Amino acid sequence: MRISLTPTSRVLVLSGAGISAESGVPTFRDAGGLWEGHAVEVVASPEGFANDPLLVWKFYSSRRARMADVVPNAGHHALVALEAELGDRYLLATQNVDGLHVAAGSQRVVEMHGTLMRSRCTRCDRPAFADTTAYRDNVAPMCGRCRERGRDALLRPDIVWFGEALPIGVLDRIEAFITSAGRDLVFVAIGTSGLVYPAAGLVDATRKVGGQSWLVNLEPPANATSFDHVVLGPAGATLPTLFAP
């Protein structure tokens, strides 16, 4: 099955952990996934961080360390080619924090849940900064600027945890794209279990404006029936030929 676009089609892609699986990045909810052995609320919530910041830093540091020899795959590159063809008629919203879309060359990309290779202070107004450090000490990293001012403040990964709002403007940009596309919207969700909101609600928003929805996934997830079309298979194999020339 292939997606045929018209000259007025506008494509919104939503990617999840599944698009990075073929690059060797574990997904969250597959067997042996990232959440295995970790309760989500313990390692990906503000309460969990407040309770045990060192455990949370060990979880994210191990994910940073694993990214050292991970590269984008054919699925990421196929989306870069689609963006080059469509220009401003294309937008990519990713739930992923692995940075692989940007590494592949995607430019019109909204990182809905932040990014793994960035940290920020829990206290001062220092902007989030690039940080690839996999902290190995037995103490959670502290903010240097706060220390200069005689205060102690923890650093945290610049990532959206459960119960936290998405970065300002993220949803507005996605919703503006959906509204402006209207019936010309082609929504394509790739490699996501469709369990986490508000990302999981984008298929419903597509229907509301009369757009068409596609799901490209290894297996049918819980919300598969919400989509007009389902293409089963690995993203790296299906994406390069998904769009009819």
Hey, which residues are catalytic here? 113
Is residue 218 near ligand BV8 by the rule CB under 6 A? yes
The terminus-to-terminus CA distance of the chain in angstroms comes to 13
Are 109 and 90 in contact by the 8 Å Cβ rule? The answer is no
Alpha-carbon distances, residue 155 vs 48, 96, 194 (angstroms): 14, 21, 30
Q: Which is nearer to ligand BV8, 7 or 197 (CB)?
A: 197
Q: Which is nearer to ligand BV8, 32 or 87 (CB)?
A: 32
Give which of 20, 65, 58 is closest to 42, Cα–Cα: 58
Q: Which residues contact 7 (CB under 8 A, 6 or more apart)?
A: none
Q: Which is nearer to ligand BV8, 24 or 182 (CB)?
A: 24
| Structure-token pair, residue 93 | 């919203």
Q: Which residues contact 231 (CB under 8 A, 6 or more apart)?
A: 1, 214, 215, 216, 217, 238, 242
Site string for ligand BV8, 108-127 (x = CB under 6 A): -----x--------------
Are 21 and 28 in contact by the 8 Å Cβ rule? The answer is no
Residue with token string 């969990």: 48
Is residue 211 near ligand BV8 by the rule CB under 6 A? no
Least gap, CB of 233 to ligand BV8 (angstroms): 7
Within residues 26-85, the interface with ligand BV8 by CB under 6 A covers 27-30, 33, 44
Site string for ligand BV8, 125-144 (x = CB under 6 A): --------------------
Q: Which of 9, 61, 96, 106 binds ligand BV8 (CB under 6 A)?
A: 96
Is residue 169 near ligand BV8 by the rule CB under 6 A? no
Phi, psi (rounded to 5 degrees) for 46 = -60, -35
Least gap, CB of 6 to ligand BV8 (angstroms): 26
Q: Which residues pair with 185 in a beta bridge?
A: 10
Q: Which of 24, 163, 169, 210 binds ligand BV8 (CB under 6 A)?
A: 163
Least gap, CB of 166 to ligand BV8 (angstroms): 6
Nearest-angstrom CA–CA distance, 179 and 7: 18
Q: Which of 13, 14, 97, 100 binds ligand BV8 (CB under 6 A)?
A: 97
Which residues lie near ligand BV8 (CB under 6 A)?
Answer: 16-18, 21-22, 27-30, 33, 44, 95-97, 113, 159-165, 191-193, 195-198, 217-219, 221, 234-235
